[in-house]
Amino acid sequence: MTKPDVKPEEHKGWRHWFHRNPALNLAYRIGVGVIGGIVLIAGVIMIPYPGPGWLVVFAGLAILATEFEWAGKVLQFAKRYYDRWVEWLKRQPSWVRGLVMAGVCGIVLVTCYFLNVFALVGGWFGLEWSWLQSPIFGSR
């Protein structure tokens, strides 16, 4: 008895149901694109902050790579250059690593200032200093 002529990837898991119907396949790809894009953008925003920024970027790219070949290539590229950056940073003297850390801290502080975090926290303690107010979101 011979098996029907079916591509092997079409019978792997539940995904083959979407491949069989072009409208469902398009909807699925759009859904993966939207979810992967949101995760990727959130990761890019989180990069300069303490926490899992790069992990979230790689997760977003991995989600996109399940349906889009370009995302897989970008994921490999990003991993390669991230690893190179980490290895380069490990080889640097303490003062260079300190400067990088100071730059990251500066980015976090500037972002907190523009998002009015200092005025919000100052308000909790009764500090109504005008210089704590963000020029963008301050309540003037």
pLDDT in tens, 1-24: 444 444 555 456 677 777 777 888
Number of domains, the chain: 2
Q: How is residue 91 written in tokens? A: 């080889």
Same domain, yes or no, for 77 and 109?
no
Q: Is the pTM of this model over 0.75?
A: no
Identify the burial level of 108 via C-beta atoms within 10 angstroms of its C-beta, where 0-12 means exposed, 13-18 middle and 19 or more buried.
middle
Give the range of the structural domain holding residue 116, as residue numbers without chain letter.
94-124
Same domain, yes or no, for 77 and 102?
no
Same domain, yes or no, for 57 and 69?
yes
Q: Is residue 62 part of a domain?
A: yes
Q: Is residue 27 part of a domain?
A: no
Amino acid at the residue 11? H
Q: Is residue 78 part of a domain?
A: yes
pLDDT in tens, 39-55: 999 988 888 777 788 88
Q: What's the per-residue H, E or C state across 29-40?
A: HHHHHHHHHHHH
Q: Is residue 28 part of a domain?
A: no
Q: Which residues contact 17 (CB under 8 A, 6 or more apart)?
A: 24
